Amino acid sequence: MPTVARKFASAEGPFERPSARQDAQGRAPVVLLVSGGADSSALLLLAATSALDIEDGRGEARIARERLHVLHINHQLRGLDAEEDEEFVRDLSARFGIPCTVRRFDVAGLAARSDDGNVENVGRELRYEAANELANALSDELGTPRGAARIVTAHTADDRAETFLMNAVRGSGAAGLSSIPRRRNRIVRPLLDRTHEELCDLLRMRGIVWREDATNADTSRLRAFIRHEILPLARERNPRVIASLSSACDILSEEDAYLTQVSARALRDITRRQEEGLLALDAGRLAAMEVAVARRVVRAALLAVCPDCRLEARHIQSVLSIVAAGQGSATAPMGVDCRVAHGLLVMRTRAASREVIAAWLDVPGSLELPDGRILSARLIPVPAGASAPNIARAHGREWAGASVLLDAEAAGLAPDGGRLWVDGPQPGDICCPFGMHGQSKKLSDLLGEAGVAAADKAAVPVVRTGATGAIVWIAGFRADERARSTAATKVQLELSLTN
């Protein structure tokens, strides 16, 4: 008898052998986050006996039982109630023949040691971290791609409406008002079109009694206050307020996704330098953007520099204010320094401030580097009848590479001065080392030949004509041929590196 695979291979008509991707997706694990409350109990019931849409709007479908796995997190916050919640979830999972994993965390203790002390935030982070770990482990066990796994939560239309109002009270922007997304990477929320009451009715019909968390009635918490005080009043005016707010969230989410794409492209276009803990943007082009896009660009830039930043609208506005003024400084959460000078907005973390070179050098002027050395610059007119190349050669011999004399005009400076950009070596940097008659060379190769260890290369100061300009001097090593002093040089630029 032919195998199933052979049947597919030899069949004529619309039937085709499933692709490897489809096969992996059909076997990939589906992790259900179940707390024991009505919504998550209904999620477990529907996943085991009915159909859910867990493939990003492709329609509801039955999920193979062998793919399902329940995850319960015991936060150890409610004593005996928490233990009974855990036992309830174990029993309900066993009733439907679905494996159950329980993880226990001392959430209160962990929150006390966290930066903000917020128990809810810590609990949420732990839930998703545990879910991702379990999804990865199951994927590896089944031999399916990790990206094909799904983590399914029981968020409902009520949760979405409550989150919308909570974020509105806090003054969130469009991203916050979009509320809970239907999908984020492999996390899916197939119950967002259902209300809490609908799910409770479903459980009653199936004879399933769920667990109630007493803290949900504590109106000192913002979510409970909105659930028990605000939404009942709103329903008096509009009985379909939950559905209305959910529709508004969908609209805002779609518009937010579009503007996020626009701002991501804009951020790439105006980025002039990016290193660990540092980002330099073209402040002029940022100031010329529509404010709706500029806000998002600033937010994305700050998060790129410091992903753990908890940003509020006032932080974004303070950065936009110095951008509009063309100068000044502002501080974002976690000590991120934002500074506008010479047409650049430079954002850097505290760690980058100590380690990364990225600053303007005024000419004439000096700059203290992160390692304590001083980089200085001044202009020296060439005396009448003197040979600028001869002066430069004699100067170079005397200072043994710690100071150079270059052509100020070739370095992009006006007769009365200007500014130069100083940073570290960048990927792909090309220079034309003095003495090689215009031949180009990778900066990384030049430093390697000079005996600079890979770990020390980032600390080598590189002087450039601008944030994305040509190299002028690799401080302490080699000047660039393009900025050398010539017989036509009228004003020389002296660059010195001292301890």
Flag whether pLDDT at 15 surpasses 60.
no
Flag whether pLDDT at 187 surpasses 90.
yes
Per-residue pLDDT band at 153 (split at 50, 70, 90)? very high
Place of tokens 């753990």: 308
pLDDT of the residue at 57: 66
Computed over every residue of the chain, the mean pLDDT equals 88
pLDDT of the residue at 450: 86
- Looking at the chain, the whole-number percentage of residues with pLDDT higher than 90 is 61
- DSSP letters for 93-141: HHHTT--EEEEE--HHHHHHTSSS--HHHHHHHHHHHHHHHHHHHHHHH
Q: Which CATH number fits domain 357-498: 1.10.10.10, 3.50.40.10, 3.40.47.10, 3.60.20.10?
A: 3.50.40.10
**pLDDT tens for residues 295-314?**
999 999 999 999 988 888 88
Q: pTM for this one?
A: 0.65
Listed in order, the ranges of the chain carrying CATH 3.30.465.60 are: 276-353
User: Among 66-75, 102-111, 138-147, 376-385, where is mean pLDDT lowest?
Assistant: 102-111
**Alpha-carbon span 97 to 65, nearest angstrom:** 8
Listed in order, the ranges of the chain carrying CATH 3.50.40.10 are: 357-498
Place of tokens 């050669």: 393
User: Phi/psi at 16 (nearest 5 deg)?
Assistant: -130, 155
Q: CATH assignment of 276-353? A: 3.30.465.60
**Cα dihedral 278, 283, 285, 289 sign:** positive
Q: Domain 24-245 adopts which CATH fold?
A: Rossmann fold (3.40.50)
pLDDT of the residue at 492: 96
pLDDT of the residue at 468: 83
**pLDDT tens for residues 437-447?**
778 899 988 98
CB 436, CB 381: distance < 8 Å = no
Position with higher pLDDT, 12 vs 360: 360
Peptide bond into 364 cis (omega under 30): yes
Per-residue pLDDT band at 451 (split at 50, 70, 90)? confident
Residue 180 CA: distances (Å) to CA of 94, 123, 189, 407: 30, 17, 9, 59
Helix (H) or strand (E) holding 282, with range, is strand 278-282
Mean pLDDT of 262-274: 93
CB 365, CB 496: distance < 8 Å = no
